[in-house]
Amino acid sequence: MERHVGQYADVPADEALAFYVRKFDDINTALSLFERRVASDAAHNDLATSLAKISDQVNEGVGVGDFAALRTRISALNDGIAKKVEELNEQTAAAREEAIAARTALVEKVEGLASGDLSKVQWKQMTTNVDALFAQWQEAQKKDRKFPKATADELWKRFRAARNTLDQARRKYFAELDQSTKGAKAAKEALITKAEALIPQGAAGLTAYRGLLDQWKLAPRGPKKVDDALWKRFKAAGDAIYAAKNEEFERDEAEYQGNLVIKLEILTEAEALLTATDYAQARATLNGFQKRWDAAGKVPRAKIREVEDRMKKVETAVRKLEEAHWDKSNPEKQARSEGLAGQIESKIAALEVERDAAQAAGDSVRATAIDEDIAAQRSWLAVLS
């Protein structure tokens, strides 16, 4: 196929031919570079435009070479570019859907946080979570530059609304907390003032301080750092009162040590009543011990149980001695006992007659049985006597 090339005046023919060969080579080089680009670069969608420019050079440009081969290559590239553009469009669409799904997930997460029970939120953790979601949103904005604007605007509107809901709830919470903190601090400072006023009373102020402590437990709580500082002051007042109480206790314990010596002496004498037999003398003697016991006063706390148990043992022994005497001397009981004893004696006499008759009749089995009955009746009689 003939192709009009052009003319190059005033130069030898071989030089002119070489010039147009170079023109062809330039077009061939451009096409070769484009082929490598198509093979390696799928990120650009201007491949068709670039190929059209090269095709124009092949069809309209001047040069000497195998232009038919170039057109064949261009035709193959057209088919390849169409397929590549289709793939690129599919990838772009898939990436767009993936980006929309990712941002929608971020919106749904922040909306989920905003729709929860905001009265029970740990706001430090909540703020961290929301900030993390917002950082992910910003990162997505930088990465997804071809994100559909209308969709992006709608999702951002939802994200911002949820974040505003959380922000308003957080502001309300901390405003109420600040008000509560002020009230809690004022209430506890008033209790501290009262507690510190009790210090001069020493141990006498302990009951009142315990009442203040009950009120402290019911008082509203503030921030840990503030509460800890207030508690330190309140406890210091209590420590001073308890220290005075301990000093008083130690003084009392020292004084009570002498009382213990006296009571131990009384016990040594009183425990002789454990073996007494005369109830009247035992009662009179015990009364004397009890008067001395009360006059002796308190003993150290660690010894109270020991000495009280020993004295109770003596008192119990005397009381039982009195009860035993009463049981024996009670007229009604004695009459009942004597009447029952008479009945038993009469029964024994009758049984003895029956036994003698059985022996006379030679009935040894019957006589033995009656003897056992007689022994039983005599044991009852022994109890009553």
Average pLDDT of the chain? 83
Q: What is the pLDDT of residues 15-66, one digit of tens each?
A: 888 888 888 888 889 888 888 887 775 555 677 778 788 888 888 777 788 8
Is the pLDDT confidence value at 330 over 80?
Answer: no
| The pLDDT value given to residue 323 | 86
Of residues 336 and 119, which shows the higher confidence score?
119
User: Where does residue 317 rank: exposed (0-12), middle (13-18), buried (19+ CB within 10 A)?
Assistant: middle
Question: What is the 3-state secondary structure of 137-183?
Answer: HHHHHHHCCCCCHHHHHHHHHHHHHHHHHHHHHHHHHHHHHHHHHHH
385 DSSP assignment: -
Is the pLDDT confidence value at 335 over 60?
Answer: no
How far is residue 126's CA from residue 43's CA, in Å, rounded to a whole number?
40
Of 42, 166, 159, which Cα lies nearest the Cα of 102?
159
Q: What is the pLDDT of residues 233-255, one digit of tens each?
A: 989 988 988 888 887 767 777 77
Residue range 94-120: mean pLDDT, rounded: 87
Of 368, 374, 372, 369, which Cα lies nearest the Cα of 350?
374
User: Where does residue 242 rank: exposed (0-12), middle (13-18), buried (19+ CB within 10 A)?
Assistant: middle
| The pLDDT value given to residue 132 | 92
| The pLDDT value given to residue 3 | 65
Look at the block and give the residue holding tokens 């420019």.
53
